[in-house]
Chain A
Amino acid sequence: MSKTHVTCTVNGEETEFLCDSNQTVLDVLREDLGLTGSKEGCGSGDCGACSVLVDGRLVCSCLMFGSEAEGTSITTIEGIADGENLHPVQSQFLKHAALQCGFCTPGLIVATKALLDANPSPTDEEARYWLAGNLCRCTGYDKIMNAVHAAAAELRGESA
């Protein structure tokens, strides 16, 4: 079996890996790079638990081959905080109790960051449609939306 050699940037660090042609970015992150924060909930792009940013664009890492990562810059949940300082999306998820089991949380946080990067003041409807690809079975999304809006306000520099 021939493997592809891939060089890319993961959470700001230049990273090299060898991958099988049918390994996904999610497989590589979890199995080869030890980045298990991205989760596999479905393997078919329906749950969003594996959400990452590739060159700033939100994608499901289960729907991208590792080989395709050549030359890209990937941000995973492990790269959202600034060192030990939580990103406002992370701290607002905690403050607003926007997680119960926490399994969908990494994907939701990455997706929310992408939302607020693209749209600093989303309406509730815009936020809900943007996040429709991130399934959460525990919360009913209510507190997640509270956290999203609070994080948006914090990022806009408004006092929450």
Chain B
Amino acid sequence: MNDISLKDALKVVGTRPVRPDGVDKVMGRAQFGGDAVMPGMIFGSTVRSPHAHARIIKIDTSAAEAMKGVRAVVTAADLPNITSEEAFVGEGPMNFRDLSCNLMARDKVLYDGHVVAAVAATSTSIARAAAEAIKVEYEVLPHVINEMEAMQPGAPVLHDDIFTSGVDPKPTTPSNVVKRMEFAKGDLEAGFAAADKIVERTYTTAPVHQAYIEPHACVAAFNPDGQCQVICSSQGHFMVRAYCAKLLGIDISEIRVTPAEIGGGFGGKTLVYLEPLALALSRKAGRPVRMVMTREEVFRGSGPTSGGTINVKVGAKMDGTITAAHAEVILQAGAYPGSPIGPALMTCWAMYDIENASAVGFDVVSNRPKVAAYRAPGAPISTYATESAVDELSRAIGMDPIELRLKNAAKDGTKALYGPTFQNIGYVETLEAAKNHPNLQAKLGPNQGRGVAAGFWFNIGGESSASLAVNEDGTIALVSGSPDIGGSRASMAMMAAEVLGVNVERVRPIIGDTASVGFTFVTGGSRVTFATGTAVCDASDDIVKQLRGRAAKLWEIDVEAVEWRDGSAYPAGDNAGKFEPLSLADIAVKSGRTGGPIAAKATVNAQGAGPGWGVHVVDVEVDKETGHVKILRYTAAQDVGRAIHPSYVEGQVQGGAVQGIGWALNEEYIYDKDGRLDNGGFLDYRVPVASDLPKIDVALVEVPNPRHPFGAKGVGEVPIVPPMAAIANAIFDATGVRMTSLPMSPPKVRAALDAAGK
């Protein structure tokens, strides 16, 4: 293999070819989950709870079953009653019993939108009419929505088997507080005593939805012999297979899941909501069943991420040294345990080298949909508070916010609050890139302000599989197990082309179904380019080895005497120049006669994903009379290790930043007094639109990750971490008012300005 660690030597990596799946997507031919068809398929719909908390007394399905065209009705009685079993999914430990009950309520409904029954019929309109005809009798119970209220003694208790863990002594009465977690180092009290300035404040955030534009969708067939086929859009078809098997009590070998194109996920499609229901309906109906959520169902029934309450205290000396930092984070888990409290705590001070620090957190259930992973789960919530507090601190001691961060920056050798020591990190370089960006020279006018914030995310590796086959004309078929959610086929093909030394158009990447490629963990955790990319490179290396072997056979020399460069075999050493080089295509055409087809597979459990760092600088203008905040300029600097396809890397950063802008300014779940979601649609769940935004300028910093063949680090998650604090800090710069509650929507900004007499 050539020395590809040097950027200058790279021919494909770092270029910007057109993505291989692009033409289908711009012509409307790409098949997403809701486009897939199976012969004879019928259509499913769900019945959802209108109550935030209620006991199910009786479900009468008789009227629905009697309707013409209705082929099956299922309730929890049709699913195995799964016992409590902890497993690690999406964003943290998850209990399969909870997952099953979240899919279809068993005894109690725990949130508005909780599924209680599903129906399949010969048309969507009949299925919806039948769903309306299912009569559910409820005993409505008191509910609790807010996490702080849910923690109070006397709050309605959702589960009678939750006894707070992580506290001593362990409680003997159930509550909504699932667990307490803590990370600490140094001596907090001494650290605060050494500080010249201390700032302390409470922040709150609202739950926000991933708001992918494609609603959840699948088509599933349960054959009489027990074999199952599922076509769906998800962030991991092996995840879908595993959960369907577990939740329906069938063997994994009986289920084949084919990935459809996925219309956005951002963490929200690392769980199942429809697939097991569609299979259960299909089993009963004897026909394939398609299920597609409505937008309202997406908001009511699928995972937002947590809202929370964060108390922060941080102190520094006048020279800028942060002497102590503390954060207490309370996160909503939704109806079942499992908020991203761990990462929220681990990330919130990760940007700093602080001797004395602590982070304490609580995971709290309430009558909301169970949270799902959302881009850097937990980190944006806690970091909004800590990076706001650090901004306040920088103003208190009169130091530039980037200089304060540089002075205290985590670097190689810094011991993180949660234990490990950082290595090969590019945070200082990222701060410098932000500091030196021309946007920071722009002059600000009246009511305008500039804010800075940083963010951290771990990134992960994990299990991935890939296989390559050399076609007889020298082109390459590349199969991997990672659903392509944002252009990863392009980067997979580019890495293979780089290793093989061929033009990227010669490599055709596809995503294999669960029977065609080895297990691959979800497209999430910013892992695909790193982990699946490593598998692709390993398999490509194997192909190169085989190609050299075939050339050696043709030349009748030793394989060690064959060198691979620029897509061709060259005789080397004593044989140098003795034979004409053989191109990949030359060898491919003779592969049958030199030992058979040339193919390779690689599986990895990639470790050592390099952590990601982002620094965002935003300029805003505040309309003080209406509280409207306009984003004038946006700069996002990030250490990406190495950008394989820089356009899609920039796209990840831009997209993450804009999701953060939405989180900062307008997105929130709004419940009425009865605990019903009041804004379950894109009209009143306000994601950013094109006219809300300026250009999003990206500064890519490349501090290579030695654990990846080309130095790549995860990219997709970090950029959603800094925006909320950056914008809050910019609003302060513009107005002198500190916004301590997300979203910083016009009514809240105007009220804060009025309260401050500004």
A–B proximity contact (CB within 8 A): yes
Q: Which chain A residues have a beta carbon within 8 Å of chain B's beta carbons? A: 20, 22, 30, 35-44, 46-47, 49, 76-78, 80-81, 86, 90-91, 93-97, 99-106, 109, 125, 127-129, 131-145
A125 touches which of B22, B264, B655, B691 (Cβ 8 Å): B691
Residues of B within 8 A of A76 (CB): 28
A39-B32 in contact (CB<8A): yes
* A94 with B26, Cβ < 8 A, contacts A36-B31, A103-B264, A128-B690 known: yes
With A101-B212, A138-B486 in contact, is A143–B651 under 8 Å at CB? yes
Which of B155-163, B681-689, B750-758 contacts its partner?
A: B681-689
B693 near A141 with CB under 8 A, answer: yes
B229 sits at the interface (CB 8 A) = no
Determine if A41 and B215 form an interchain contact, defined as CB atoms under 8 angstroms apart: yes
Instruction: Chain B residues near A35: list those with CB within 8 A.
Output: 28
Q: Report whether over half of chain A's contact residues are helix, strand or loop; otherwise say mixed.
A: loop
Contact: A109 with B26, CB < 8 Å?
yes
Q: A101-B485, A129-B691, A137-B266 are in contact. Are A37 and B28 (CB under 8 A)?
A: yes
Ordered by A's residue number, 22 sampled pairs between the chains whose C-beta atoms are within 8 Å are: A38-B28, A39-B263, A43-B295, A46-B683, A47-B213, A76-B28, A77-B28, A97-B647, A101-B214, A102-B25, A102-B26, A103-B214, A104-B263, A106-B28, A127-B690, A134-B690, A137-B213, A137-B655, A140-B656, A140-B659, A141-B658, A143-B654
* B292 CB contacts on chain A under 8 angstroms: 40
B93, chain A: closest CB distance, angstroms: 28
Q: Are A39 and B214 in contact (CB under 8 A)?
A: yes
- Alpha-carbon gap, A47 to B212, bound state (A): 11
Q: Is the CB of B30 within 8 A of A100?
A: no
By a beta-carbon cutoff of 8 Å, the part of chain B in contact with chain A is: 16, 18-19, 21-23, 25-32, 34-35, 125, 210-215, 261-266, 292, 294-295, 485-487, 645, 647-648, 650-652, 654-659, 681-683, 687-693, 695-696
B614 to chain A, nearest CB (A): 14
Q: Is the CB of A37 within 8 A of B690?
A: no
Inter-chain contact B648/A97, CB cutoff 8 Å: yes
Q: A101-B262, A142-B695 are in contact. Are A137 and B211 (CB under 8 A)?
A: yes
Minimum Cβ distance to chain B for residue A115 (Å): 11
| Residue on A nearest B490 in the bound complex, by CB | A97
Chain B residues near A95 (CB, 8 Å)? Answer: 18
Given A100-B655, A140-B655: A41 touches B27 (CB 8 Å cut-off): no
The answer to whether B264 and A137 touch across the interface, beta carbons within 8 angstroms, is: yes
Instruction: Decide: A90 and B27 in contact? CB cutoff 8 A.
Output: yes
The minimal Cβ–Cβ distance linking B167 to chain A, given in whole angstroms, is: 39
Is the Cβ of A42 less than 8 Å from the Cβ of B295? yes
Task: Report Cα–Cα, A20/B690, bound state, in Å.
Answer: 35
For A137, list chain B residues within 8 Å (CB). Answer: 210-213, 264, 266, 655, 659, 687
Flag if A42 contacts B690 (CB, 8 Å).
Answer: no
- Among B261, B294, B659, the residue within 8 A (CB) of A101 is B261
Question: Least Cβ distance of B645 to chain A in Å?
Answer: 8
Q: Is the CB of B487 within 8 A of A97?
A: yes
* Shortest CB distance B632–A (Å): 13
- Given contact pairs A46-B682, A90-B27, A101 touches B690 in the complex (Cβ within 8 A): no
- Indicate if the CB atoms of B691 and A128 lie closer than 8 Å: yes
Contact A77 B689 (CB under 8 A): no
Check A97–B30 contact: CB distance below 8 A: no
CB-contact partner of B657 in A30, A77, A106, A140, under 8 A? A140
Query: How distant is the Cα of A43 from the Cα of B124 in the complex, in angstroms?
Result: 14
**B28 in contact with A135 (CB, 8 Å):** no
CB-nearest residue of chain B relative to A81? B27
Q: Which residues of A contact B125 (CB under 8 A)?
A: 20, 22
Contact A43 B687, beta carbon cutoff 8 Å: no
Contact B658 A86 (CB under 8 A): no
Report the nearest B residue to A104, measured CB to CB. Answer: B213
